[in-house]
Chain A
Amino acid sequence: MTTDIKEMERRFQEKIDSGLKIEAKEWMPENYRKQLIRMISQHAHSEIVGMLPEGNWITRAPSLRRKAVLLAKVQDEAGHGLYLYSAAETLGIDRQTMINQLLEGKAKYSSIFNYPTLSWADIGAIGWLVDGAAIVNQTMLARGSYGPYSRAMVRICKEESFHNRQGYEIIYGLANGSPEQKQMAQDALNRWWWPSIQMLGPSDAQSKNSEETMRWKIKVESNDTVRQRFIDRTVPQAHAAGLSIPDPDLKFNEESGHWEIGEIEWTEFYQVIKGHGPCNHKRMQARQKAENEGKWVREAAAAYAKKQKSRQQIAA
């Protein structure tokens, strides 16, 4: 093989520019692989950790219908985590390594899951706002250049639409209920609004890695573009429910057709990312506990498979 790296990179870029997807076994620049492993594994961890704040309300859902729906939603999040771990594995990292990175505190996951779910309305707010923001981001990622990630995103987006609607249904119901219920919905919106805005990532001016990730179509739109789309979709939904967005500077720009928000408080975002959010410690403890308590199940499954195999060999 005399083809040099520069030439390989040129061909790789050409392929991306012409809109072709990159598949697992194809040549790719080391940094493309690294960036994707980082992104996809963080995304997978977010799905898994994201089960915790919602799981908190499964036993206390206000009706059997709500409980069945919430169970199905949390199960979907587990499924999303699994699709994404598989997508990351196609890049040559194995699942155990990723899980260990999470448990050892070396891997990041979405900052938003470090906030507590204090009332039932928070379950509505998560589906409506957090999943709403996730859909906007993931619809963008579905257009990305890496085939396995893009296909996982397509699948996930379809399922997130249910999450988004069920969340809005909860919020809308509360907002149109008793004054206390309306207050619950407003309170949830007040607490989840800014973290949802922030979860779409640092502003373009602050964002590292963006030139390369855009050129390689790992991302096809910037954080601020995606954030604006989320805002434009969500503000009218809040108003339709009779709720107000907790931002005194929010205004509609007639000329641009966009909702403009006030300044984002980034200090808090970086604090939460660094591990100083309200629930970082608790979330990691819960993951550690699940890992430890599930160990015997995995061992039993492995032992059973081994025994079956040796029986088959004896029979043969």
Chain B
Amino acid sequence: MNTKDENDQGLLWEVFVQAKPGIPHKHAGSVHAHDAEMALASARDVYTRRREGTSIWVIPSHMITATTEADSESFFDPADDKAYRHPTFYTVPEGVKYL
């Protein structure tokens, strides 16, 4: 990681901000910091200067595992042919309510 003397920018952290209580945290961007405490303080200064958040999560970027573009087609296509998972797949007889 970036801890050599000539590169003293710290680790890269991803920042997730919850805008209001009760809703999910959403990715806001990233910050550089040497530890979690510093990452939280920077994230507050960089991403919530206008009360955009009530809670912040930070995680070192290298800890995140993500799908890749090359795999994404085969990874997600099992869901493609399962329209019956949606309520609109079904016909509701006329006059029947609350379905």
Closest to B52 in A: A155
* A-B pairs under 8 A by CB, number: 61
Which residues from 74 to 102 on chain A have a C-beta closer than 8 Å to any C-beta of chain B? 75-76, 79, 82-83, 86, 89, 94-96
Q: Do A308 and B9 touch (CB < 8 A)?
A: no
Q: Tell whether A25 pairs with B68 under 8 Å between CB atoms, given A83-B29, A96-B9.
A: yes
Q: What is the interface size of chain B, counting residues whose CB is below 8 A from a CB of the partner?
A: 23
Query: B92 interface residue, CB < 8 Å from A?
Result: no
**Residues from chain B with Cβ under 8 Å of A304 in the complex:** 34-35
Q: What is the interface size of chain A, counting residues whose CB is below 8 A from a CB of the partner?
A: 29
Interface centre among B2, B6, B9 (most CB of A within 10 A): B9
Closest to A300 in B: B34
Q: How far is the CA of A306 from the CA of B8 in the complex (A)?
A: 13
A89 interface neighbour in B3, B12, B33, B38, Cβ under 8 Å: B12
Q: Do B49 and A75 touch (CB < 8 A)?
A: yes
Beta-carbon contacts of B1-40 to A below 8 Å, as 1s and 0s?
A: 0110011111010000000000000000111111100100
Q: How far is the CB of B54 from chain A (nearest CB, A)?
A: 18
B7 interface neighbour in A94, A155, A305, Cβ under 8 Å: A94
**Residues from chain A with Cβ under 8 Å of B81 in the complex:** none
**Residues from chain A with Cβ under 8 Å of B66 in the complex:** 25
A308 interface neighbour in B3, B8, B29, B35, Cβ under 8 Å: B35
B9 interface neighbour in A95, A306, A309, Cβ under 8 Å: A95
Q: Tell whether A96 pairs with B7 under 8 Å between CB atoms, given A25-B66, A25-B69.
A: yes
Q: Do A302 and B34 touch (CB < 8 A)?
A: yes
Q: Do B7 and A301 touch (CB < 8 A)?
A: no
Q: How far is the CA of A298 from the CA of B12 in the complex (A)?
A: 14
Query: B45 interface residue, CB < 8 Å from A?
Result: yes
Q: How far is the CA of A26 from the CA of B72 in the complex (A)?
A: 11
Query: A299 interface residue, CB < 8 Å from B?
Result: yes
Q: Tell whether A82 pairs with B31 under 8 Å between CB atoms, given A75-B49, A94-B9, A96-B6.
A: yes
Q: How far is the CB of A88 from chain B (nearest CB, A)?
A: 11
Q: How far is the CB of B89 from chain A (nearest CB, A)?
A: 27
Q: Do A152 and B29 touch (CB < 8 A)?
A: yes
Query: A295 interface residue, CB < 8 Å from B?
Result: yes
Q: Do B69 and A94 touch (CB < 8 A)?
A: no
**Residues from chain A with Cβ under 8 Å of B68 in the complex:** 25
Query: A27 interface residue, CB < 8 Å from B?
Result: yes
Interface centre among A94, A159, A295, A302 (most CB of B within 10 A): A302
Q: How far is the CA of A211 from the CA of B7 in the complex (A)?
A: 36
Q: How far is the CA of A151 from the CA of B27 in the complex (A)?
A: 11
Q: Do B8 and A302 touch (CB < 8 A)?
A: yes
15 examples of A-B residue contacts, CB within 8 angstroms: A75-B49, A79-B45, A82-B31, A86-B12, A86-B30, A89-B30, A94-B7, A95-B32, A159-B50, A298-B10, A301-B10, A302-B10, A304-B34, A304-B35, A309-B35
